[in-house]
Amino acid sequence: MSHNTFGHLFRVTSWGESHGPAIGCVVDGCPPRIPISEEEIQHFMDKRRPGQSRFTTQRREPDTARILSGVFEDEETGELLTTGTPISILIENVDARSKDYSDIKEKYRPGHADLTYDAKYGIRDYRGSGRASARETATRVAAGAIARKVVPGMIVRGALVQMGPHAIDRDRWDWDAVDDNPFFCPDAEMAEFYAEYLDDIRKRGSSVGAVIEVIAHGLPAGLGAPVYGKLDQDIASGLMSINAVKGVEIGAGFVSATLTGEENADEIRMGHDGAMEFMSNNAGGILGGISTGQPIVARFAVKPTSSILTPRRTVTRGGDEVEVSTKGRHDPCVGIRAVPIGEAMVAITLADHYLRHRGQIGQGE
Amino acid sequence: MSHNTFGHLFRVTSWGESHGPAIGCVVDGCPPRIPISEEEIQHFMDKRRPGQSRFTTQRREPDTARILSGVFEDEETGELLTTGTPISILIENVDARSKDYSDIKEKYRPGHADLTYDAKYGIRDYRGSGRASARETATRVAAGAIARKVVPGMIVRGALVQMGPHAIDRDRWDWDAVDDNPFFCPDAEMAEFYAEYLDDIRKRGSSVGAVIEVIAHGLPAGLGAPVYGKLDQDIASGLMSINAVKGVEIGAGFVSATLTGEENADEIRMGHDGAMEFMSNNAGGILGGISTGQPIVARFAVKPTSSILTPRRTVTRGGDEVEVSTKGRHDPCVGIRAVPIGEAMVAITLADHYLRHRGQIGQGE
Amino acid sequence: MSHNTFGHLFRVTSWGESHGPAIGCVVDGCPPRIPISEEEIQHFMDKRRPGQSRFTTQRREPDTARILSGVFEDEETGELLTTGTPISILIENVDARSKDYSDIKEKYRPGHADLTYDAKYGIRDYRGSGRASARETATRVAAGAIARKVVPGMIVRGALVQMGPHAIDRDRWDWDAVDDNPFFCPDAEMAEFYAEYLDDIRKRGSSVGAVIEVIAHGLPAGLGAPVYGKLDQDIASGLMSINAVKGVEIGAGFVSATLTGEENADEIRMGHDGAMEFMSNNAGGILGGISTGQPIVARFAVKPTSSILTPRRTVTRGGDEVEVSTKGRHDPCVGIRAVPIGEAMVAITLADHYLRHRGQIGQGE
Amino acid sequence: MSHNTFGHLFRVTSWGESHGPAIGCVVDGCPPRIPISEEEIQHFMDKRRPGQSRFTTQRREPDTARILSGVFEDEETGELLTTGTPISILIENVDARSKDYSDIKEKYRPGHADLTYDAKYGIRDYRGSGRASARETATRVAAGAIARKVVPGMIVRGALVQMGPHAIDRDRWDWDAVDDNPFFCPDAEMAEFYAEYLDDIRKRGSSVGAVIEVIAHGLPAGLGAPVYGKLDQDIASGLMSINAVKGVEIGAGFVSATLTGEENADEIRMGHDGAMEFMSNNAGGILGGISTGQPIVARFAVKPTSSILTPRRTVTRGGDEVEVSTKGRHDPCVGIRAVPIGEAMVAITLADHYLRHRGQIGQGE
C-alpha cells in the first residue's frame, strides 16, 4: 500500500485522470489459469457506471474495460485464462466534456482535493478534478472483478445501509432487494423513502452522505498476519483509500465501544457438522487481525459530495476571498456508487491475504 | 505495512511475546542527527505502563526501553544523536509470572485471538496470550517516541473521549486535565464519573469499551500520496492494527454520513497572517488523502477486554463445549492505555509520510 | 523490486507481451513539475528500436511511446510537466506477424525461458516469446527517459566494451564514437572489426555475447542505504533483471579479486576546488553501498541470443527428444540493444535512490 | 530489499554496530512449525566466526546467537518450533576493545566506507567501523541458518574458488575438502598453496581479494517472478549487499559473453527417471529469471580488505592531505569468511522465493 499500488502479492497499480485519454490499472501477481473475460469485468463495471438513474451523475461513460495483457487462450477450450503475468486494463475516457474550467482552476471548492493537490504538487490537472475524481475508482472495480476469482468460494457483497441520517431496518434485510433499486439498498421499503428523499436533495442542488456495508462469505479461518499485516488493518486501509470515505468499522465497530465484555463476546458452540459455530459476530469475522471463518463484515462512511449548487465561502489560488458553487454533472449521493467500489476493495484485500497466507503457511494441510 | 513492519521510509519492525525473555522493535530509516535518549522514550513508555492505577492491569513491568544501536555521541556536546542506521530497542519482560496456563491453552476465550492463531499457525505461545498480548504495544510507544522528533513542530496528543456509552462533554475539553486523571480524559468532570463507573465494572469482573481521539498539530499541508498512500488510509491502517480496535474515523467520521454537502463543507477565509483559515474541520485535516495544514483528527473505537470473570460459553481445541472465565490481572478498560498507543501510531504514520513527501517533492521550496 | 515493479519511491511497473495489442509501464512517484515530452522519450526509444541496422532483428516496430496520464500543461509556457501522479506509457505492438508458432509452442528452445514459464505457470503466451521477449525492455527505456530528468546534473551513458571474446582498447575510448557505429562502441577501430565479425556470425545463423559498460556522471555523494538498500546492490538488481544478463560488476569488479589492498585502494587528494579527488576509481563510485561522488561504473555480461539456426537437442512439452532451430527475425548480438536498456536501468535506480536519500536526509544542507 | 530489510515474504531486518552492546536481526514471515535451535544456528555462526585460524582477524567473539522470540515448544516432543511470528536473534559484542580511534575518526581510509557514511549521514559510529563493519554479516549467517530449513530438500554450499589471481583447478573439486582447510577451498592441493601465499600477504600487512562460488541443490523448477522479481536478480541483490563484494555472476557469467549461441545453449535430453536432463548448466539453473530445477550456481568477487599496514594517501574530515595505515586486527583475505555469508544470502533469497512462488501458484499440483 504505497503510491498508487495496493496489495503485496495480489497488487493493483492505478493510473489516470478524469479528462485524460484513458484511465487504467495493472493487476500483478494474479495466480495463473484463472478464467477471466472482459464480459465478467464489465458486469461489475456496469454497477459503478454513472448515468444509470437520475440519482447518479449524468456523465455518459460506457466504461468499457479492455484487457491488454496477462491472459491467453486455454489450449483445449479456447477460454481466456490468466497467465500469471501482469494484467493491464484500459478504460477510455469518452464523455470528457470540453468546457470552461476557469472556475475550479482558480477557486478551491471546500471539501475538495483541489487545494491539497496544489499544496503538495504545485500543479494539477483540474479538468473534472483530474486524478482526484471519483472516475479513478472505475479501475478498482475492474481489478476487484479479477480478485473475486482468486479465492475459491468467496462471495463479496455490499449494500447501502444508511443515507443521510436514515438507516435501514436490518430486520428487513434482503439481498435480492439490492439489485432492484438504484441505491443498492437491501431494505426495499427504505429504498422507496430514499428515492423521495434524494430527489429532494438533488433538486435543491445539495448532496448527502451514506454508510455502506460490505460482507464477505466463504473465507477460511487464518487469513491476516499480525501485527502490521492484520486483515482488518488492510481492509481499513483499502476502504479508507476510496474517495470521500471518512470512517471504517469492522463488525460491531464503534458500537463495541459501548458494550461490556459479556455483551461483546461472541460465544462459541459446536455445530452439527463438527465445526465451531459462533452465537454472534460482533468481531466481524476477525480476531487478533486473523479471520475466524465467520463472514467478514465491514462498514464505511461516505461524506456528502462536495460539489453542490449552494454557494460556499472559499479562497482562490491567489488568496482572494470568494464564493464558489458547482454547476454541472454530479452525484447527489456519491455513497451509492461506493457500493461496488467498497466490494472491490474488500475483494482485492482478501485475495491478497489469501495469497500471502498461502505463501507463509502452504495450503490444504 | 506488512508482516511485522509498519511504514515505508520510517519503518518500525516489531517482535516478541508476552512471556518470552523480551520484546522489542527496530526503527529503520530515521533521519540522522536527531537527539534521542532513553529518558525521552521512557517518558512515553511510562504513560502506557501497566499497574499505575487500580484501573489498569496489576502486572508490574518497569518497561525499560534500552537502545542497542543506531545512536552515537555528538562530537561536541556528547549528546546522543541518531546516526541514520537502524535503532534497535529492547524491553525485557520482568513480571512474566509462571503460572498454570492449562486453561487458556485448551479453551478458546471468546473475543480473543487464541483460536485464530491456532487456526493460522497450528502452534502458539499461549503464555499471557503470547504475540497477541497487548504487551506488544509497548514497542509501538517506544518507536512513537522517536517518530515524534522527526517532524519539526509536530505535536501529537490523545485523549479518551468515551467510555462505554458515556461520552465526554467536548465543551469542557481541557488538554491540561488529560494528565490529571487515570483515564487520559480531557473532561475533568467526566473523569470523576468514569472513576466510579469503572470501579463498578472492575469489581464485577467485567470490562467496557472506549473511544480515543488523537490530534496532531503543526503539520504542513501536502502530506499523503493518493490514491493508495493516502494519509487517512495509513492512519486508519496504523490505528486498526492496535489490539482490540474495531473502528477508525477521520474528522467528522461517521457523522459526516448524516450531513448535507452544505453542512459538511469546511469553508475557507484568509487569516490575519495571509494564510488560509478554515471555518471548521469536518475533514479532520485531510482532503483527497493529503493534509490541509489543519490539525489531523482521528478517532478509534476499542472493544471491551475479552478477558472477564463472567463465564462465557466456548469450545476447547479438541472441540468440547465448555465455559471459560479469566482470572488474573487484566484491564477493565483496555481503551485507557490505548491513548499513548494511538498517539504513537499516528506519530509513526506522520513521520513516515513526512519523509515520503520530502522524498518525492523535496523541501523548503 | 518485486513482481513487475522496480524501485521504491521512483517506481516502474511493467506489463505486456510481445504479440499482444500493446506493452507499457506505469511510472509512479516521479517528482512534479519536471518537463517531459513524448519526443524526449522517443529519442531513447529509437536507440533500442529494432531494425535499424543489419545487426539487429528485422522486426519493424515504430516503438511509439504515448503518455496517457500524469502530465499537464504548464499554465504559462504550455510545456508539458509531470504532475506527481502516475505516468502511464503505452507502446503498441505493430509488427507482430501472425505465423505458425507450433514449433516453439511444443519444443523448448535451449537457453530460452519457454520451459521455465511452463514449469512455473502451467500456461504461457508463446507468440514471439510472450512476456519473456526482449520486447518488454522497450518499457524500461521509456521509464529511463523520465528517470534521467529526476536527478539534476546526472548523465548516464553506456557503451559496448566487448563482443564475444573481443574487448575494446580502452585507450581509444571516445564517447563521440558511440553514436557513429551500430554497436554503441566507443572504440571506432574495434567497431569496424565488429562489423565484419558479426556479419560472419549473423550469416552462419549463430549469435554471440557481449559486455556493456554504463557510467553515470554528476551524482552527489551519499546515495545508497546500507545494508540492504545499497546502491551497488540495487544497480546489480536492475541490470540482472534485463533479459539474457548473466553477470554484473561495479568498478574493478572481478578484477578486484585479483588485486592486493595496496593496488585496489583509491587514494585521495584534495583537488584545486577544495573538494576531494580520487587518484583512481576501482570502487566504481561506491563504497559501503553509498556513492562517493565519483562516476558510478557498472558492467554487465549479456549471453548470446538463444534463438539460433543451428539445430540443438531438446525435448518437447510432452517429453519427446527432438531438435530445434529458430528461423525468423532475431538479433545476432542481443548485447547491442542492451546498451540503452542498461542505461535506463541505471538511471531508474539512481533516480529512486536520489529520492530515497532526499526522503531520509533532506537536501541542500 | 530496502533499508535494512531483505526479502518479501521471508524477511530479514538487520541492526547493530561493531562496538555497540550487540548486533542482531529479526526474521519475519518464517513458516510455522519448523524445528530450530540455537545449536543449529551456532553451527553456521562458527564457520563465520573470527579468530579460528591465523588467516582471519584475531578479534575473539564467541558470536553466540540467542533466540528471543518466535519459537515455542512442541506440545508433544518439547522440541522448539517456529511459531510463524517474528524470530528475534541477538548477538552480543564481547571483544569490542576500547582503544584509540582518533586515527580512523579523522582520516578516511581509502576503500573504506568512512567517508561515504560521513557524506550521507553527517555522523557515524567510527568504533571498529560501526555499521559498515563486516561484523554485521554475523546476523546474515544466523538468518541464513533458519532460511536453510524453509525449503524442503534444499542444500546450499559455498567454496572459495580463487584467491588473488590464483584460481582452483575445478577438476579437483571435492566438497569434502572444503571443511578440511581454513579457506573453504574445494581443491586440497590449492589450499596448501593458499596457506603459503596468504601467510606472505599477511606478514607484509597486505591483503588480497577472492572469488566465492555458491551452489544450491534440491530446488524445484519455477522459483522467480519476471520481470522485476527474477531469481537471479534477487540473488545478485543479496550477494552484492555483502561488504566488499564488487561483482556477481550466474552460471557461466561473464564467460557467457565470449560464447556463441551454440556453445552457450544447455541442451536437454530425457533422463532415466522421465525427467528432463540438461547436458550442461551455463544458465546456472535460471532461465528467464525462473529456476530450471538444475543446481543454482552463483559466484561473487570480494575485493581485498581496505585495512592494510602499507601507508596510503588520503585526506582528513577537515580536508588535510595525510597518509593512513591500519594497525590492529584484520582479515588478510576477507573473502574467506565471505563463504558462509554468501551461502546465507543465497539461502535467504531462495527461501523468500519459495514462499513467494507458493503464494502465487499454490503447491503440490
Q: Could you give the domains of chain B?
A: 5-361 (3.60.150.10)
Cα distances from C92 to residues A17, C23, C63, C67, in angstroms, run 21, 6, 7, 12
DSSP one-letter code for C104: H
Do residues D300 and C250 touch, judged by C-beta distance below 8 A?
no
At position A220, the amino acid (one-letter code) is P
At position D152, the amino acid (one-letter code) is P
Contacts 24+ apart (CB under 8 A), A61-67: A61/A93, A61/A94, A61/A95, A61/A135, A61/A138, A62/A94, A63/A91, A63/A138, A64/A38, A64/A91, A64/A92, A65/A38, A65/A41, A65/A89, A65/A90, A65/A91, A65/A138, A65/A142, A66/A38, A66/A90, A66/A91, A67/A36, A67/A38, A67/A41
3-state secondary structure of D258: helix
**What's the average model confidence in pLDDT over D105-114?**
92
Single pTM value for the model: 0.98
Do residues C356 and C9 touch, judged by C-beta distance below 8 A?
yes
pLDDT of residue A96: 66
Q: Which is higher by pLDDT, C49 or A28? A: A28
Tell me whether residue D243 is annotated as binding. Answer: yes
At position B112, the amino acid (one-letter code) is H
Which span out of B102-111, C104-113, D117-126 was modeled with the highest average pLDDT? D117-126
Residues near B20 by beta carbon (within 8 Å), at least 6 away in sequence = B93, B96, B125, D68, D69
Task: Determine the Cα–Cα distance for residues D216 and B64; give it in Å rounded to an integer.
Answer: 44
CA of A104 to nearest chain C CA: how many angstroms apart?
Answer: 14
Which chains are adjacent to chain D, needing at least 3 Cβ pairs under 8 Å?
Answer: A, B, C
* Number of cross-chain residue pairs from A and B with Cβ atoms under 8 Å apart: 386
For residue range C122-135, what is the model confidence (pLDDT) as tens digits? 999 999 899 999 99
For residue range D42-91, what is the model confidence (pLDDT) as tens digits? 999 999 887 778 887 766 778 899 999 999 999 899 999 999 999 999 99
Using a CB-CB cut-off of 8 Å, the residues of chain B touching D14 are 86
Using a CB-CB cut-off of 8 Å, the residues of chain B touching D130 are 72, 83, 85
Do residues A289 and A235 touch, judged by C-beta distance below 8 A?
no
**What's the average model confidence in pLDDT over A22-47?**
96
CA of D83 to nearest chain A CA: how many angstroms apart?
Answer: 11
pLDDT of residue B102: 76
How does residue D97 score in pLDDT terms, banded at 50, 70 and 90?
low
pLDDT of residue D284: 98
Q: Is the pLDDT of residue A258 over 90?
A: yes
User: Pick from C31, C85, C356: which is nearest to B361 by CB?
Assistant: C31
Interface of C with A (CB under 8 A): 3-5, 11, 13-17, 20-24, 26, 28-29, 32-33, 68-70, 72, 74, 81, 83-88, 90, 120-125, 130-131
pLDDT of residue B272: 85
3-state secondary structure of C295: coil
Q: What are the grid coordinates assigned to A42, written together?
A: 464489465
- Cβ within 8 Å, pair B9-C360: yes
Nearest CA to C24 out of C131, C101, C175 is that of C131
Q: What pLDDT tens digit does each residue of chain B (365 aa) get?
A: 789 999 999 999 999 999 999 999 999 999 999 999 999 999 999 998 877 788 877 667 788 999 999 999 998 999 999 999 999 999 999 876 667 677 788 999 999 999 999 999 999 999 989 999 999 999 999 999 999 999 999 999 999 999 999 999 999 999 999 999 999 999 999 999 999 999 999 999 999 999 999 999 999 999 999 999 999 999 999 999 999 999 999 999 999 999 999 999 999 999 888 889 999 999 999 999 999 999 999 999 999 998 888 899 999 999 999 999 887 667 899 999 999 999 999 999 999 999 999 999 997 54
Interface of A with C (CB under 8 A): 3-5, 11, 13-17, 20-24, 26, 28-29, 32-33, 68-70, 72, 74, 81, 83-88, 90, 120-125, 130-131
Q: Is the pLDDT of residue C328 over 70?
A: no
Q: Is the pLDDT of residue A364 over 60?
A: no
pLDDT of residue D329: 63
Task: Determine the Cα–Cα distance for residues D172 and D69; give it in Å rounded to an integer.
Answer: 44
CA of D307 to nearest chain A CA: how many angstroms apart?
Answer: 42
**What's the average model confidence in pLDDT over D102-125?**
92
**What does the mean pLDDT of chain D come to?**
94
- Per-residue exposure over A312-351, b if at least 16 CB sit within 10 Å of its own CB, e if not: bebbeeeeeebebebeebbbbbbbbbbbbbbbbbbbbbbb
Q: What are the grid coordinates assigned to A163, written together?
A: 443515507
For residue range D145-176, what is the model confidence (pLDDT) as tens digits? 999 999 999 999 999 999 999 999 999 999 99
Nearest CA to D208 out of D362, D101, D338 is that of D338
How does residue A273 score in pLDDT terms, banded at 50, 70 and 90?
confident
Cα distances from B357 to residues B32, B347, C69, in angstroms, run 17, 15, 21
CB atoms < 10 A from the CB of C61, how many? 18
Residues near C244 by beta carbon (within 8 Å), at least 6 away in sequence = C134, C302, C303, C305, C306, C334, C335, C338
CB atoms < 10 A from the CB of A117, how many? 28
Do residues D24 and D90 touch, judged by C-beta distance below 8 A?
yes
Nearest CA to A94 out of A58, A139, A62 is that of A62
At position C67, the amino acid (one-letter code) is I
Q: Which is higher by pLDDT, A5 or B273? A: A5
Where is average pLDDT lowest: A36-50, D217-231, D235-249? A36-50
CA of C99 to nearest chain D CA: how many angstroms apart?
Answer: 23
Task: Determine the Cα–Cα distance for residues C110 and C222; give it in Å rounded to an integer.
Answer: 43
Do residues C6 and C241 touch, judged by C-beta distance below 8 A?
yes
How does residue C365 score in pLDDT terms, banded at 50, 70 and 90?
very low
For residue range A146-187, what is the model confidence (pLDDT) as tens digits? 999 999 999 999 999 999 999 999 999 999 999 999 999 999
- Cβ within 8 Å, pair C303-D211: no
Tell me whether residue C256 is annotated as binding. Answer: no
Q: Is the pLDDT of residue C97 over 80?
A: no
For residue range C160-189, what is the model confidence (pLDDT) as tens digits? 999 999 999 999 999 999 999 999 999 999
Task: Determine the Cα–Cα distance for residues B64 and B46; give it in Å rounded to an integer.
Answer: 9
> DSSP letters of A195-209?
HHHHHHHHHTT--B-
Q: What residue has cell string 469542557?
A: B172
Interface of D with A (CB under 8 A): 8-9, 29-32, 84-85, 225-226, 355-356, 358-364
User: Pick from D5, D15, D88: which is nearest to B69 by CB?
Assistant: D15
Residues near B42 by beta carbon (within 8 Å), at least 6 away in sequence = B63, B64, B65
Using a CB-CB cut-off of 8 Å, the residues of chain C touching D262 are 206, 308, 310, 312
Q: Is the pLDDT of residue A50 over 90?
A: no
pLDDT of residue A187: 98
> DSSP letters of B149-162?
TTSTT-EEEEEEEE
Using a CB-CB cut-off of 8 Å, the residues of chain B touching A230 are 240-241
Q: Is the pLDDT of residue A365 over 50?
A: no
- Cβ within 8 Å, pair D24-B68: yes
Tell me whether residue A48 is annotated as binding. Answer: yes
Nearest CA to A336 out of A162, A205, A166 is that of A162
Where is average pLDDT lowest: A131-145, B97-111, C298-312, D67-81? B97-111
Q: What sign has the CA pseudo-torsion A337, A341, A342, A347?
A: positive
pLDDT of residue A175: 98
CB atoms < 10 A from the CB of D180, how many? 13
Q: Closest residue of A to C66, CA-based?
A: A21
Do residues C122 and C13 touch, judged by C-beta distance below 8 A?
no
